[in-house]
Amino acid sequence: MPTGSDTTADTDRGATARPAPGDASADGHTASAARSPRRRLPARLTAALWRRLSAGAPRAVLAALAGLALAAAFPPYDLWPLSLLAVAALSLLTSGRTARQGAWTGFVFGLAFFVGLLKWLSVVGWDAVLGLSVLQALFVAALGAGLAAVSRLRAWPLWAACLWVAQEWARDRVPFGGFPWGRLAFANTGSPFTPLAALGGAPLVTFAVALTATLLAAAVTLLATGTLRRPRPAPGRARPAALAATGALAVACLGYAVPVPTAAADTVDIAVVQGNVQRPGMDFLGRPMMILNNHVEPTLALAEDVRAGRVARPDLVIWPENASDLDPHRYPQARAAIDRAVAAIGVPILVGALVDHPTREGYVENQGIVWDPRTGPGASYTKQHPVPFGEYVPFRDQLSKVISRLERVPRDFWPGDEPGVLQVGPARLGDVICFEIAYDEIVRDTVNSGARALVVQTNNATYGRTGQPEQQLAMSRLRAIEHGRAIVTAAPSGISAIVAPDGTIKQRTEEFTQDVLTARLPLRDERTVADRVGAAPEWALALAGLGAVAAGPVARRMKKHQKGNPQ
């Protein structure tokens, strides 16, 4: 990529060749000669842009490959060591570059990564994949600029790792409440780094992964620099390289020293019903009552097995998000079907349903409702974080005029404002709905409010067999360790699963099958360090990274001033 001085030199050469105003050209048309530089200006700008892109093409290609490698670190491929390789590659590609070069490299890396990660959104449309990927890649562009800036500082691997946390901190919050998908921690739900979640949550796992990778990048840089100058690295460079590599190994092994308590204070017998849907994709609902009947029928079959002595009676039953495809408070046939299932099994059922907002006409609430065999519908939890453009449409009046697909979201979801702690029979469970498992504060608040186990009521039927359900299940594995809680995932089409407090998957269903899981679920009251410290580690690490970016120019100016004014 040409430097600023190269570009200036090109401009100067162009200025020398211009005819002076008033001079006649070879054909005598003075006015044409005077206007020709202006006509050539777009061509010169295009040529300059092409030279810059061409000069940076190898780096861009490597950045794109690194981004795709990071996507492969996530489920369904689940090759978590690639997260280290990808982060190290981005550090090397931005090292010593200008902020603009770092930003472009980061953008290319981020775009390739998110397209690879979010290809499941192609069910909605590839324009949705590209649009969301470009938006998320802008955050990685800012990360790339920051990595370039801190690469000139002492202890730069530390500051670079902090910047990864800062980038995720921003992505998790803006715009429209953020989109936490694709955090480094979610690619490391079964790696040596995972136990660190019990100390500092997902941000600490991200930091440890990034620090290990940047230390490896530092070791490579030191060795490569020495090799270029001598047949083998000089001792002065070999020792720091070995120290960096040793540091990377030490950080990677820290997780093994973190205790992951799993002892149960109590247990509860549960059943999880996966009723299945009529078809995958955007039109999974079928006719009204079909999804509800799909969950009523296996519950009735379970009740028959209990009466016949083939299965022990559970203490409670869990249905997934949208198990009732009609509002049971409004449609008598839906309520009657749920009453029949609850009466047959004789224990409370946690029912996922969409219900009309009681006071705001036109709005709907996504709820988990405790349905008791004696008293009927009782306590409920309303999803706090509806998905933008999926469950509500920001700027609906303006955007719906140009994006006809938004008509598929006819009514906006109204958000709840309380953690989902519900007494379901003998168990105090914490309900989080679908994508909420990705948000630190929602899950943490639920545990700190008294949940003894967690339930993720989800509906992934739109994205079946795309890898998205596996990505979401990986988040449950991390949350189990982070909060020391067993997690039950209930989905109408899969993947339904039971995850132990140590993050291991005890049972899981196949996608697009009707199934019932039964298990003895451990209940715990002890809170982890991560529950107690909350978001403090994330804020501290993010601010440290941003502070390093801001301090870099100040330190360079002070150093230059000291050189110019020797004592």
Determine the Cα–Cα distance for residues 470 and 312; give it in Å rounded to an integer. 30
Q: Is residue 235 predicted with pLDDT exceeding 70?
A: no
Whether the CB-CB separation of 307 and 347 falls below 8 Å is answered with: no
* Ordered DSSP codes for 288-350: TTHHHHHHHHHHHHHHHHHHTTSSPPPSEEE--TTSBSS-TTT-HHHHHHHHHHHHHH-S-EE
Rounded to whole angstroms, how far apart are CA atoms 311 and 309? 6
Ramachandran angles phi, psi of 396, nearest 5°: -55, -45
3 pLDDT higher than 60: no
Asked if 383 is an active-site residue, the reply is yes
Residue 559 clears pLDDT 90, i.e. is over it: no
As a whole number, the mean pLDDT across the chain is 89
pLDDT at residue 215 in the model: 98
pLDDT of residue 223: 87
pLDDT at 27: 43
Residue 418 pLDDT more than 50? yes
d(CA 559, CA 501): 51
What is residue 4's predicted lDDT score, i.e. its pLDDT?
Answer: 39
Say which amino acid occupies 210: A
How high is the pLDDT of residue 527? 97
- Rounded CA separation 146/131 (Å): 24
Q: Is the pLDDT of residue 19 over 60?
A: no
* pLDDT value of position 41: 64
- Read off the pLDDT band of 341 (50, 70, 90): very high
Positive or negative, the Cα torsion across 100, 102, 105, 109? negative
* Average of per-residue pLDDT across 193-215: 98
Q: Half-sphere exposure (CA, 13 Å, Cβ side) for 130?
A: 3
Cβ atoms of residues 93 and 62 within 8 Å: yes
Catalytic residue among 434, 436, 511, 538: 434
How do strand 349-356 and strand 364-372 relate by DSSP bridges?
A: antiparallel
The predicted pLDDT at position 12 comes to 39
Domain ranges of the chain: 53-260+538-553, 266-393+408-525
β-pairing verdict for 266-274 and 453-457:
unpaired
In DSSP terms, 376 is beta-bridged to: 372
Given the residues 162, 168, 365, 383, the one annotated as active site: 383
Burial 459-476 (b: 16+ CB within 10 A, else e): bbbbbbbbbbbbbbbbbb
Which is the catalytic residue, given 162, 168, 321, 365? 321
Sorted by sequence, the CB contacts under 8 Å of residue 235 that are 6+ apart come out as none
CATH topology of domain 266-393+408-525: Nitrilase/N-carbamoyl-D-aminoacid amidohydrolase (3.60.110)
- Average pLDDT in the 104-117 region? 98
Annotation marks residue 482 as catalytic: no
pLDDT surpassing 60 at residue 26: no
**pLDDT for 25 beyond 50:** no
Q: Are strands 266-274 and 349-356 parallel, antiparallel or unpaired?
A: unpaired
Query: Following DSSP, what letter does each residue of 240-300 receive, concatenated?
Result: HHHHHHHHHHHHHHGGGGS------SEEEEEEEEE---SSSSTT---STTHHHHHHHHHHH
pTM: predicted TM-score of the whole model, two decimal places: 0.88
CB count in 10 Å sphere of residue 519: 18
Angle (deg, nearest 10), helices 468-483 and 440-448: 40
Closest of 519, 498, 449, 49 to residue 268, by C-alpha: 519
Find, among 429, 426, 315, the residue nearest to 369 by Cα: 429
Helix (H) or strand (E) holding 501: none
Q: How many residues appear in the chain?
A: 567
Supply the pLDDT for residue 54: 53
